[in-house]
Structure 1
Amino acid sequence: MPTPSRESLLEEHHPEAVRKRLATPVKASTLPDAVLGGIDGCVTTFAVVSGAFGAGFSPQVALVLGFANLLADGFSMAFSNYEAGQAQLAQITSTERIERQHIDLVPEGEREEIRQLFHAKGFEGELLEHVVDTLCSEPDRWVATMLQEEHGLSSAGLSPLRSALVTFVAFLVVGTLPLLPYTLTGLETTSQFLASLGLAGIVFLAIGMLKSAVYGLPAWRSGFRTFLMGTAAAGLAYSTGYFAQWLLP
């Protein structure tokens, strides 16, 4: 990630630019959901392909199992991500309700919590009391401060439905790639598997490197780590299929 110039940073931090940026509603990044869905889609689908190849199943069986797993596991993962987001929202709502009750019943105790929280940040004396009075003068601001500072909770930009949809789409799109060689009936089974292996390896590297590029981290290190993880999962699946064929009559 290129280092921004001082001129561009000064322009971004002009008071008017800052005002507009802070006034824009916060949206949580969907990149983690896309990375999670993409990696899991490729891993689980290629694991099915590897297991089928190791067990000696026909390409048609591998294709059917792969697409069935793609849809079922993709839906399950997206729904789990949605439920996790809903649980987070429920936790925030419950904590907010408790904080409002505490403010109604023991307002001085809650003011003391605000006082100690901001004293720990370096505020002292009259400035500290002014901060406490300002934050506690409006109930919604008071509660929002307690949620953020005491409990580390925030619903800003949180959208369970958006996270679920991004996860599902990434799972389907990326998870389909290892299955593409099995749609080419002119290839031998071994060639289909090797082509699927090559596509999966490229996907693992690409996802890891893309993630690193977005966050300004070493690209090859992250790409290689993701590649190793996917390879290990595929190896386990292949071994399971191979030994299952050997053990079962």
Structure 2
Amino acid sequence: MDQRERRALEDEHRPEAIRRRLGAPQRAETVPDAILGGIDGCVTTFAVVSGAFGAGFSATVALVLGFANLLADGFSMAVSNYESIQARREHIQGVRERENHHIDAVPEGEREEIREIFRRKGLSGETLEQVVAAITEDREVWIETMLTEEHGLQSEGLSPLRSALTTFVAFLVVGAMPLLPYTLASLGTNRQFLASLAMAGAMFLGIGMLKSVVYRQPMVRSGLRTLLMGGAAAGLAFLTGHLAQAWFGVAP
């Protein structure tokens, strides 16, 4: 670690910086939703393109099937993401209400749970009792501590609508890329597929590299891993289309 990085790290850990960072409201995390939507959108449409090309269908069929799947699957994925996060929020609220009821019904038992939680963290004696007293003095702090420490639940940063919209937009934007070459009638079928292949590969590689920047992972390895996963899905679709034509008499 060089001197510049060390100074920046020290500045981030000054008391006022820590208070400001921890006191700021936690925002909903949209990057995972965008990455998930983008990868799934690109896989979905390029799998359709690969399957159509493998079966020998025309560019028009590939384009129609691709856009139909793009809209339908994008909407379905956005709704699924919305329902999943909404269900998590409702579960957390249910646990919160249950803990609130337990504090009213068996306060000493709930204090003992707090005591045991922090005893397992290595506290004991007078220090442990002071921590228990400080936490149980504030009901909201008490409940939040039970949520995070006993149940492992985090209530902040969950936004069903934002997650759903982020997923849907990323799905549409990235998923449309492999379909663009099929809108160019001047290209032959083989060139359309190769251009779509190159576009999809660029999308997979770009998403993987973007993910590495956000989460501070090795850029090349992350990009290649995403490219290989997307390529595997497209290869399966191509093989399925080709075998369907050969085995079941599917004709273009």
Question: In the alignment, is residue 178 of structure 1 matched against residue 178 of structure 2?
Answer: yes
For 1:72, the aligned partner's letter is A
Instruction: Give 1:54 shift.
Output: 0.9
Q: Give the match for residue 146 of structure 1.
A: 146
Deviation at 1:104, TM superposition (A): 1.1
Supply the AA of the counterpart residue of 1:68.
Answer: A
Question: Residue type matched to 1:197 in 2?
Answer: L
| 1:75-114 deviations in Å (ceiling 9; x for gaps) | 0001100000001001101111111111111111111110
Find the counterpart in structure 2 of residue 206 from structure 1.
206
What is the rounded CA distance, in whole Å, between the counterparts of 1:227 and 1:3 in structure 2?
Answer: 36
Q: Does 1:124 align with 2:129?
A: no
Whole-angstrom distance in 2 between the partners of 1:31 and 1:228 = 21
In structure 1, what is the Cα distance between the partners aligned to 2:26 and 2:60? 47
The residue that corresponds to 1:57 in the other structure is 57
Measure how far apart 1:209 and its partner are: 1.4
Paired amino acid for 2:147: L
Residue identity opposite 1:97 in structure 2: E
SS in 2 for 1:40: helix
Q: Quick one: distance in 2 between partners of 1:109 and 1:222?
A: 48
- Between the aligned partners of 1:38 and 1:51, the Cα distance in structure 2 is 20
Gapped regions of structure 1 (runs ≥ 5): none
How far residue 217 of structure 1 moved from its aligned partner, in angstroms, is 1.2
- Shift of residue 4, structure 1, vs aligned partner: 6.0
Distance 2:213 2:6 in 1: 21
The residue correspondences of 1:66-215 to structure 2 (distance < 5 A) are: 66-215=66-215
- Quote the Cα distance in structure 2 between the aligned partners of 1:9 and 1:127: 30
Counterpart residue number, 2:233 = 233
Identity of aligned residues (%): 65
Compare 82-91 and 208-217 and name the one that shifted more. 208-217
Name the aligned partner's letter for residue 219 of structure 2: A
SS at match of 2:171: helix
> 1:36-75 CA deviation, whole Å, 9 max, x = no partner?
0000000010000001111111101110110110000000
Return the letter of the residue paired with 1:236: L
Per-residue CA distance 1:132-169 (angstroms, 9 max, x = gap):
01111121111111000000101111101111111001
Q: What is the Cα deviation at residue 22 of structure 1?
A: 2.1
Partners in 2 of 1:241 and 1:21 — Cα distance?
53
**Which TM-score applies when normalising by structure 2?**
0.95
Structure-2 residue corresponding to 1:44 = 44
CA RMSD, Structure 1 to Structure 2 (Å): 1.4
AA at the equivalent of 1:114: I
Comparing 194-203 and 13-22, the one that deviates more: 13-22
Amino acid at match of 2:141: R
Count of residues in correspondence between the two structures = 248
User: Per the alignment, in what secondary structure is the counterpart of residue 122 of structure 2?
Assistant: coil
The amino acid that maps onto 1:84 is: S
One-letter code of the match for 1:70? L
Check if 1:34 corresponds to 2:34: yes
Which amino acid is the alignment partner of residue 244 of structure 1?
A: A
Runs ≥4 residues deviating over 4 A: none
**Alpha-carbon distance in 1 for matches of 2:18, 2:219:** 31
Q: In the aligned structure 1, how far is the partner of 2:129 from the partner of 2:171? A: 52
